[in-house]
């Protein structure tokens, strides 16, 4: 998995995937990310804020290094939330 190259633990990803199966949690995450643009996802400060908010919603404590690894990963993916292909690619990575 490409996220492992960024120091993101597969066990962490599995915990998040499991927590995202809870409909209430999933809706809270969707509300946080509903108006995010590709420009937001290239802004290190905004991405860090999203990571912090999402970690709180998911009940995950992240070290500063884990947060930085996730921020670097998101920025490197050059995600465009309005591009269906990008969303399918993300979905396939984390399903």
Residue range 35-52, pLDDT digits in tens: 999 999 999 999 999 999
Is the pLDDT confidence value at 84 over 80? yes
Q: Are the CB atoms for 80 and 86 separated by under 8 Å?
A: yes
- At 2 the pLDDT is 84
Our count of domains for the chain comes to 1
Q: Residue 92 pLDDT > 80, yes or no?
A: no
Range of the domain at 52: 2-94
Confirm if 86 and 93 have CB atoms less than 8 A apart.
no
For residue 1, what pLDDT band results from cuts at 50, 70 and 90? low
What ranges in 1-95 are assigned the alpha helix state H? 10-19, 23-33, 44-58, 64-77, 84-94
The model's pTM: 0.88
Q: How far apart are CA 56 and CA 16, in angstroms?
A: 12
Cα radius of gyration (the chain): 13
């Amino acid at each position: 998995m490409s996220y492992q190259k960024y120091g993101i633990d597969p066990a962490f990803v599995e915990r998040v995937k499991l927590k995202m199966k809870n409909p209430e949690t999933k809706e809270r995450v969707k509300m946080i990310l509903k108006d995010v643009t590709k420009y937001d996802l290239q802004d290190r400060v905004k991405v860090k804020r999203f990571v912090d908010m999402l970690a709180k919603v998911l009940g995950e404590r992240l070290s500063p290094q884990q947060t930085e690894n996730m921020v670097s990963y998101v920025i490197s993916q050059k995600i465009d939330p309005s591009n269906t292909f990008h969303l399918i690619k993300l979905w396939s990575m984390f399903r």
